[in-house]
Amino acid sequence: MTAGPATPGSTDRVDLVAYTLRLGDDTLVFSQRLGEWIAASPQLEQDVAIGNIALDLLGQARALLSYAGAVEGRGRDEDVLAYFRDERDFTNVHLVEGASRGDFAITMARLLVFASYQHQLYGRLAGSSDETLAAIAAKAVKEVDYHRDHATQWVLRLGDGTQESHRRMQAALDAVWPDLDELFESDDLVRRLPGVAVDPADLEQPVRGYLRQVLDRATLTVPDVRPAVTGGRRGIHSEVMGFLLAEMQHLARSHPGAQW
Amino acid sequence: MVSNVSNVSNGASDVRAVVAAIPDPEIPVVSIEDLGILRDVTVDGAGHVEVTITPTYSGCPAMEAIQADVHTALAAEGYGDAAVRMVLSPAWSTDWITAAGRRRLEEYGVAPPAPRADDGAVPLTLSVRCPQCGSPETRELSRFGSTACKALWACNCCGEPFDYFKPL
């Protein structure tokens, strides 16, 4: 993939790389997680749908990682960044790395939260003063609109379905919700990139508002849970992250330089 | 669509015609120009060709095939050193599909996309006409279909399933 011109202007190059990697790691890791459903979904249509959503996210990740590598200027391309960084170098949030344990409701809860977040994020990032980030976001926001709608339809169907589907959808939301707060954590990096980065704190109200509205319609309850320990943005991950990376990176590391 | 054919040396419009005729790898009845994927073709004074394309979806796996097809088609015309550039901005929209492209899609059995509203909202509740029998009595089976750009629909009248090119 061709990255845009590396012209960070007055912005600190290192900060721009770090911020772009955060965005890219979120999409890459969630794409990998969603890919686990291919050939394992409850319906064939869901294999196709989740596969397509994962593909959109992978495309976004490729653009973001390629751009991070180009701005960094140390010769790291999208493949090097995806396959040859270790766990502590990944700065995705915990929400996207979490395992579904084969529970479709967990994946739909997570997709609802993440797509709602991305929808707000990309909508604002499309106005970034960084032209490449703005272009990636303007394209991605239209894709994420479909992802969010897909998750919304499923949460409505399961929440307002049978007693059993309602119980399981609520349990899934309860399991995912502790990871919600991390999405909205602001820090110095974001504050050092005014006009370029989107402050995650600004997304909290609209995202929570959308989620509350969907859950209300689905006869579900907004979980009242304690936030989980965070740290993804600093490279501190949950136990499942190592296993995810092992699966994602093993082929490329076993055959360095392989082409297909 | 942007085209710089007016300000370049002779032969540029022929070069453009060669590139414009390249079929989409996934829906070969339409060309990359029909789909609005082809953004620009320029030929500089030294005869160097640069082709600009844009992806439909961020993860569209056809982009690499399209790049290769452009190189192959131009090499056959003697332009072995052509450059293919991919741009993301402005973001592709189904509104860029040409009238001819829409007609070819429908003849092929893919319902063409509904136009997008000015504010970017997608009128998803609008009825989609069956490309087989023309009936407006259709239903969505899945928002996601055989490729990123299509949804899976079925006709209540003739009973046939069909692809619908999603508005984006």
| pLDDT averages per 10-residue partition of chain A, 260 residues | 45 91 98 94 90 96 97 95 98 96 95 98 98 97 96 97 98 98 97 96 98 98 96 97 97 87
Which of B28, B148, B76 has its CA nearest to residue A146?
Answer: B148
A163 CB neighbour count, 10 Å cutoff:
7
A203 CB neighbour count, 10 Å cutoff:
21
- Amino acid, single-letter form, for residue A91: T
Contact B86 A2 (CB under 8 A): yes
- In chain B, which stretches have pLDDT less than 70? 1-10, 117-126
| Burial annotation A52-86 (CB, 10 A radius, 16+ → b, else e) | bbbbbbbbbbbbbbbbbbbbbeeebebeebbeebe
**Half-sphere exposure at residue A79, Cβ-oriented, CA atoms within 13 angstroms:** 11
Contact B57 A48 (CB under 8 A): no
Helices (H), chain B: 12-20, 62-76, 99-108
- A-chain residues near B148 (CB < 8 A): 52, 55-56
* Cβ–Cβ under 8 Å, residues B38 and B53: yes
* pLDDT value for B7: 40
Q: Which of residues 80-109 of B touch A (CB under 8 A)?
A: 85-92
A225 CB neighbour count, 10 Å cutoff:
15
Measured between CA atoms, the residue of chain B closest to residue A5 is B87
Which of A56, A77, A82 has its CA nearest to residue B58?
Answer: A56
Tokens of B28: 């070969």
Q: Looking at the complex, report in whole angstroms how far the Cα of residue A226 sits from the nearest Cα belonging to chain B.
A: 35
Phi and psi at A106, nearest 5°, equal -60, -45
Distances (CA, A) of A241 to A136, A176, A190: 26, 16, 24
The span from the CA of B97 to the CA of B119, in Å, is 19
* Cβ–Cβ under 8 Å, residues B110 and B27: yes
* pLDDT value for B147: 86
Nearest neighbour of A143 by CB, restricted to B58, B120, B147: B58
Which of B108, B99, B81 has its CA nearest to residue B36?
Answer: B99
* pLDDT value for B119: 58
Determine the Cα angle at A230 with ends A224 and A233, to 5°. Answer: 135
The span from the CA of A126 to the CA of A2, in Å, is 19
- B-chain residues near A142 (CB < 8 A): 91, 120, 168
Tokens of B148: 């990123």
B141 in helix, strand or coil? strand
Tokens of A236: 């501190």
Nearest neighbour of A56 by CB, restricted to B86, B142, B148: B148
* pLDDT value for A248: 97
Contact B141 A146 (CB under 8 A): no
B125 in helix, strand or coil? coil
Nearest neighbour of A55 by CB, restricted to B85, B89, B148: B148
Measured between CA atoms, the residue of chain B closest to residue A149 is B143
Q: Looking at the complex, report in whole angstroms how far the Cα of residue A61 sits from the nearest Cα belonging to chain B.
A: 9
- A-chain residues near B58 (CB < 8 A): 56, 59-60, 62-63, 136, 139-140, 143
Q: Which of residues 23-42 of B touch A (CB under 8 A)?
A: none
Measured between CA atoms, the residue of chain B closest to residue A135 is B89
Q: Looking at the complex, report in whole angstroms how far the Cα of residue B104 sits from the nearest Cα belonging to chain A.
A: 24
* pLDDT value for A149: 95
ipTM of the complex: 0.82
The span from the CA of A79 to the CA of A38, in Å, is 22
